[in-house]
Structure 1
């Protein structure tokens, strides 16, 4: 999240904002903000715009509003300005006399729930590991399969955006996929028929997936700026049809695609282990989370928590929270279940299908109940467009 304060006056307000938030910029004119917004369209933006007249307020018409921008206007105590601001789509109009740092802080915090609502009811959950081999892909694949099985009324999509050669397709019985995530970037338009012809595949009646890259050289395609925009547009499009989208971005890297995907995510799960080297790497990532405003949607997920040589959860909290704005704690743990995971990994089998009574699977069931289909989520009555009728039409492509 970025806070853009647009004003040539009251600079102390900008200074106070920096006490609460890390990513804050000060711009003098609305046209400067338009240029800034164009280059940061994938980030959540809170615009705080100070106006003195109707002419300045009307300049907001120059902005092509998207669903990731929340607008606060500070101006004179004038009912005409306030009504006009509301008609233009401004989220909050505040008279100068009512401005105080705490009120602005609360509005910025509230903006995140408003932006999430605008994006739709689907839950986008991103999984990233602090290094290779910590179990990120195993956890994400099995969660996708288990959610789909436990909630047959939900459409579930698994996406592999890992920057290394994908293996997840093997676990979904797609041994030599003709299309993968790269092909999504080449689509001239976004519709389900074209997606099924260019990578989208069905594993079970309500579980769908797109294989990740099949060659290490395809990483260059993932990193192209124009393709990043296409991938983000695809994820937004997919929200119309899928109740839960689980995205495996592999090992955490400070690269644009991963950052942008995490920006639009509803939840971020950071997979780690409880040892000193892992905590050191995780601390670097925590600093990015802290600065990016992702604290409230980030969960620290410890795999193999009972392995030899682990630090305690209290020690981990102390390490992670040192010099951070927030207190970062371990949110969920998974056991060291090598007895069941090792043969599944060697044979490209899903643990939840081969060993449904294993400790690993039982803990994932608890994770599903805690994070994905809570009471508030079940109260949402909107249902996604059914995919099965379309599947009959396009299955010949697969």
Structure 2
């Protein structure tokens, strides 16, 4: 998340935000910010805009901001100011005399939920591991296939953005894919016919897949600035056609594409193990999460949580949260099911297909119900409930 502050000089409360967020951009004019926004339309942005006159607020008219921006205006205690701000779609108008950094942080934190609601019911989830071998790819593949198989009304897309020679294609019986994720950059348009010609595959009626790179040299394509924007545009475009997009980015690396994908994601799942070396690596990563404004959408998943020598949940929480602003919880844990996973991995089989009743799959289904299907069911209930209230209001009228 980018925190953009528009004023010629830092106000004291906004200066304090520099310790809270890694990306705090300061602009001397709203036009400077608009130019910046034009080049960063795929990123979630919170705009803190200090206004002195009604003309400052009018400058927001016809700017074409989309759903990924949350606007906080700060000005004098004046009804005309707040009414005009509301008319132009500003989210919050604050009395500048009463603003403090704690209040701004509260609004910034809440903005992520509001932006997510605006983007609709489709869900983009990123899966990243703290190191190789923790099960990131195994979890992502089996989640995608299980959601598609057990919820036939949901369209699911799996994207493999790992920057090593991908193996996910083997588990979906695509032995030598002629096109991979880097070929999306060659598509002439975002029409489905063109995407199918450049890597997109249909595995079943509701499960789709784009294989990861098959040549080590292809990882260079992930670092090209022009390609990064194409990938981000592709995700933002295609999400309208899918209920769930699951993205495997492999081991966490502080690289532009990976950071940008996590920025636009609705949820980030960080896969770890419950041992001391893994906790130490994870602590470094969640410090980035803590300062990037991703706290609310990040879920730490412990794989093989009951393996021999693992630390307890309470010990893990203490290690992770020490010295950080937020207390990080372990969102979900999966059991140590080495017998089934080793057998499936050696034979390049998905656990959900070969061993549907394995303990790993029981933990995975609980994860689906906790983070995916239940949330959408609640959204659907809220929509239907709202419709019923509107219908009753109309009857009363």
Cα deviation digits, residues 208-266 of structure 1 (max 9, x gap): 11101111100011111111111111111111111011110011111011111111111
Secondary structure at the counterpart of residue 128 of structure 2: strand
| Cα distance change of structure 1 residues 346 and 382 upon mapping to structure 2, 3 Å threshold | farther
Distance between the aligned counterparts of 1:236 and 1:23, measured in 2? Answer: 22
Distance between the aligned counterparts of 1:10 and 1:337, measured in 2? Answer: 53
Distance between the aligned counterparts of 1:134 and 1:376, measured in 2? Answer: 28
Distance between the aligned counterparts of 1:51 and 1:272, measured in 2? Answer: 45
Deviation of the 1:359 alpha carbon? 0.8
| Cα distance change of structure 1 residues 179 and 381 upon mapping to structure 2, 3 Å threshold | farther
Deviation of the 1:189 alpha carbon? 1.2
Secondary structure at the counterpart of residue 125 of structure 2: strand
Distance between the aligned counterparts of 1:23 and 1:48, measured in 2? Answer: 13
Secondary structure at the counterpart of residue 203 of structure 2: strand
Cα RMSD for the two superposed structures: 2.3
In structure 2, the partner of 1:51 is 51
Distance between the aligned counterparts of 2:102 and 2:279, measured in 1? Answer: 34
Query: Which stretch of structure 1 is more off in the superposition, 13-22 or 153-162?
Result: 13-22
- Say if 2:306 is the partner of 1:287: no
- Say if 2:24 is the partner of 1:24: yes
| Cα distance change of structure 1 residues 318 and 382 upon mapping to structure 2, 3 Å threshold | closer
In structure 1, the partner of 2:116 is 116
Cα deviation digits, residues 293-317 of structure 1 (max 9, x gap): 1111111111112222222222221
Distance between the aligned counterparts of 2:20 and 2:338, measured in 1? Answer: 44
In structure 2, the partner of 1:387 is none
- Say if 2:159 is the partner of 1:182: no
| Cα distance change of structure 1 residues 379 and 9 upon mapping to structure 2, 3 Å threshold | closer
Is residue 121–residue 379 contact of structure 2 (8 Å, CA) maintained in 1? Answer: no
Distance between the aligned counterparts of 1:301 and 1:280, measured in 2? Answer: 15
TM-score by length of 1: 0.89
Structure 2 segments unaligned to the other structure (5+ residues)? 384-397
Q: How does 1:250-329 map to 2 (within 5 A)?
A: 250-329=250-329
In structure 2, the partner of 1:229 is 229
Query: Which stretch of structure 1 is more off in the superposition, 65-74 or 177-186?
Result: 65-74
In structure 1, the partner of 2:333 is 333
In structure 1, the partner of 2:161 is 161
Distance between the aligned counterparts of 2:248 and 2:81, measured in 1? Answer: 46
Distance between the aligned counterparts of 1:330 and 1:378, measured in 2? Answer: 23
In structure 1, the partner of 2:151 is 151
Is residue 147–residue 368 contact of structure 2 (8 Å, CA) maintained in 1? Answer: yes
In structure 1, the partner of 2:132 is 132
Deviation of the 1:101 alpha carbon? 4.1
Secondary structure at the counterpart of residue 239 of structure 1: helix
In structure 1, the partner of 2:194 is 194
Deviation of the 1:54 alpha carbon? 2.7
| Cα distance change of structure 1 residues 381 and 207 upon mapping to structure 2, 3 Å threshold | farther
Structure 1 segments unaligned to the other structure (5+ residues)? 384-398
Query: Which stretch of structure 1 is more off in the superposition, 305-314 or 81-90?
Result: 81-90
Deviation of the 1:105 alpha carbon? 3.1
Count, aligned residues: 383
Distance between the aligned counterparts of 1:26 and 1:361, measured in 2? Answer: 48
In structure 2, the partner of 1:15 is 15
Distance between the aligned counterparts of 1:219 and 1:382, measured in 2? Answer: 43
In structure 2, the partner of 1:3 is 3
Cα deviation digits, residues 6-53 of structure 1 (max 9, x gap): 223672221344465454343332233334435544432111111111
In structure 2, the partner of 1:345 is 345
